[in-house]
Amino acid sequence: MTATPTERWSDVLMGNYGVPPVTFVRGSGTELFDDAGNRYLDFLCGLAVTGLGHAHPRVAAALADQASTLLHVSNLFITEPQLEVAERLDRLIRSGTGSEANPAGGSGRILFQNSGAEANEAALKLARKFHGRGRHGVVAAFRSFHGRTMATLAATGQPEKHEPFQPIPEGFRHAAWNDLAAVEAALAPEVGAILLEPLQGEGGVNPADTAFLQGVRRLCDERGMLLIIDEVQTGLGRTGEWFGFQHAGIVPDVVTMAKGLGNGVPIGAVWATADVAAAFGPGDHGSTFAGQPLAAAGAREVLRIMEEMDAPRKARERGAELTVLLEAIPGVSSVRGLGLLLGVELDPAALVGRTAGEVARACLAAGLVVNGVTPTALRLAPPMTISSDELVEGVGILAGVLADGSAFDDGTTESGGHS
């Protein structure tokens, strides 16, 4: 008998992701298809990555074209695709809402990376280099998520994630989320930067209060600290602005990005004001692959498409529709978040003893991809290209799962059983 994908997976891959329940083989727009031909609606986008949907024809063509033109030469040489990506990112980061364009004054500088954790790691190194020895400290928030490398793990405000890997790099302090007084209390002379998400994604889809971000910006100005905003999950339109910090009308010193930038091609980036960026000189940081032509050509096409379609407006409009649909179904007690990055708090009566993760499993079996972001809340991050009909269909699947406690999948079913 031939081994199943699950058996082969378990035999050869490390167990840090558990055993994934489904093998996906193909996608198109909002749709995904598994190895048995079952169709799913993707309301998760590979963790807020494929914001333009799967197999976008223009992104696919741009990648194919670049693959047969030039794949890699290293950062010892200029390659064309990254120039336009950097120019567009700088412009979008400096574009305020409405009329107050260009709030950051002069242009900033971009450093390419390959992932979100790498982008944050680079931002942390940049802050240390900028301040010099003695001001290496960073304050971040409890329940934050900044990545899995040693320094970004240390920045991540979830102490239980630190424990197995002690000793982790020192210099990181954490303060309660949305609590300006707590941030101020965490400050010490050696603190040179504050690192925050504009909306905590992994931590449960918790948006920052506008007053909190504005207060932190003020603190940073008063004490000469850098404000680093982690836009890895929130950036590039998903929250209804190009970047999450723009909801609060503030301007960070450093911004990190990754997930949505390549629509699935691994790429990350750090933006910093020209002043701060100047701290990195030749040899201070680097990466063999970062910004390489294939990833950058993908990101270039992604940004062109997102600007043409006005992705933030799509996220606002579809997000508003989705919120109304969700609030109307029994079993949903509240909906939080921004744009198309939503947390759906489930009623204990609808959970009937299940965790949100188990409800997500039942949704998967019924043809809807979502995830459990806390024990009682689902995270929804559908593509910004989603249609109103698909929103209705997806919410209908969730409503069915919540109405039927028996749809509870105990985890023994290895692949989506719906037809």
Ligand X SMILES: *Cc1c(COP(=O)(O)O)cnc(C)c1O
- Of the pair 38, 242, the CB lying nearest ligand X is at 242
Which of residues 82 and 115 has its CB atom nearest to ligand X in the complex?
115
Q: Which is nearer to ligand X, 126 or 350 (CB)?
A: 126
Find all residues with CB under 8 Å of 236, minimum gap 6, and list them.
Answer: 51, 242, 243, 257, 259, 260, 261, 302, 303, 306, 311
Whole-number minimum distance, CB 91 to ligand X, in Å? 22
Q: Kindly state the DSSP code that residue 201 receives in the 8-state scheme.
A: T
Least gap, CB of 243 to ligand X (angstroms): 12
Neighbours of 211 (CB within 10 A): 11
Closer of 232 and 311 to ligand X (Cβ): 232
Q: Which of 342, 330, 394 is nearest to 373 (CA)?
A: 342
| CA 130-135-138 angle, 5° bins | 95
Shortest distance, CB of residue 18 to ligand X, whole angstroms?
A: 17
Strands (E), 29-156: 31-34, 39-42, 108-113, 137-141
Nearer to ligand X, 82 or 206 (CB): 206
Task: Give the count of beta carbons closer than 10 Å to the beta carbon of residue 323.
Answer: 18
Quote the distance between the C-alpha of residue 338 and its chain's center.
13
The least distance separating ligand X from the CB of residue 201, rounded to whole angstroms, comes to: 4
> Rounded to the nearest whole angstrom, what is the least distance from the CB of residue 270 to ligand X in the complex?
12
Nearest distance from C-beta of residue 117 to ligand X, angstroms? 3
Nearer to ligand X, 248 or 395 (CB): 248
Nearest distance, CB of residue 351 and ligand X, angstroms: 25
Binding site for ligand X (CB under 6 A): 115-117, 120, 145-147, 197, 201-202, 230, 232-233, 258-259
Concatenated DSSP letters of 281-325: -TTSS--SSTT-HHHHHHHHHHHHHHHHHTHHHHHHHHHHHHHHH
Q: Please say which residue, 203 or 394, places its beta carbon nearer to ligand X.
A: 203
DSSP 336-366: EEETTEEEEEEPHHHHTT--HHHHHHHHHHT
In the complex, least distance from residue 157 CB atom to ligand X, rounded to whole angstroms: 11
User: Long-range CB contacts (< 8 A, 24+ apart) of 330-334?
Assistant: 330/399, 330/402, 330/403, 331/399, 331/402, 331/403, 332/402
Residue 108 or 268 having the CB closest to ligand X? 268
Closer by beta carbon to ligand X, 265 or else 407: 265
Strand-pairing partners, residue 378, are 344, 372
Give the separation between CA 242 and CA 177, rounded to whole angstroms.
23
Residue 203: helix, strand or coil by DSSP?
Answer: coil
CA 289 to centroid of chain Cα atoms? 21
Distance of closest approach, residue 121 Cβ to ligand X, in angstroms? 9
Residue pair 81/66 in contact by the 8 Å Cβ criterion: yes
Q: How far apart are CA 263 and CA 241, in angstroms?
A: 17
